[in-house]
Amino acid sequence: MAEHEIMTDAIIFLDQLVIEDVKTLCDMTVETGFFSNDEVLIVEELAWSFITEGAESDYSFLLAAPGCAQHDRPFAFACFGPIPCTNGSWELYWIVVDQHSQGCGFGRRLNNEMERRIRAMGGRKIFLETSSRTQYLSTRGFYEACGYQMESRLVDYYEQGEDCLVYSKILKRP
């Protein structure tokens, strides 16, 4: 616990990806056990598009890493972006915390930092989609603890019997 507490103080946020990060993010996503192979391939694809297209990309990445030079391998990331053809709506596509770093509040701090940046870019509201499966109860608990509320349900979306739950959060002006 002591080590985590030190890391909590020393966390840094990075808004650029280097090539080595792609494998780190994919491995971290696989290891959580919460994502399908297709979803991991999409993380990889979006990470590459962010590296090659930079600010032109529709997707932004924000990484959380320990704040010491000897060990800057990210242990959490969020992928998000403005929703095309909307004015001020953003989507949180992924937020993943390395399984060894979960339960220490890093996901919540990463989400807070992402919200701060989205607000600074004129964002009004964040949407995200998650599954109705029991497996994702802890995921939904995390979003609710971060202040997201379930706004709608799309029945049989992922497959027959598995709905899509759309959560959202209104960003308050500071």
Report CA dihedral (112, 6, 24, 104) to the nearest 10 degrees: -50
Tokens of 53: 């297209």
- 42 forms part of the interface with a second copy (CB under 8 A): yes
Residues 58-87 binding a second copy (CB under 8 A) are 83-87
Contacts made by residues 157-161, CB under 8 angstroms, sequence distance 24+? 158/131
Which of 33, 36, 56, 69 binds a second copy (CB under 8 A)? It is 36
The reply on whether position 52 binds a second copy by CB under 8 A is no
Contact between 154 and a second copy per CB under 8 A: yes
Gap between the Cα atoms of 159 and 134, Å rounded? 14
Least spacing, CB of residue 87 vs a second copy, in Å: 4
- Binding a second copy (rule: CB under 8 A), the pick from 159, 172, 173, 174 is 159
Give me the helices (H) in the chain, please: 2-10, 19-32, 37-53, 106-120, 137-145
- Interaction of residue 124 with a second copy, rule CB under 8 A: yes
Residues in binding contact with a second copy, number by CB under 8 A: 27
Judged by CB under 8 A, the stretch of 16-24, 36-44, 49-57, 98-106 that binds a second copy is 36-44
Question: In angstroms, what CA-CA distances link 45 with 31, 73, 104?
Answer: 18, 20, 29
Instruction: Name the residues that contact a second copy, by CB under 8 A.
Output: 36, 38-39, 42, 83-89, 124-125, 127, 151-160, 166, 168, 170
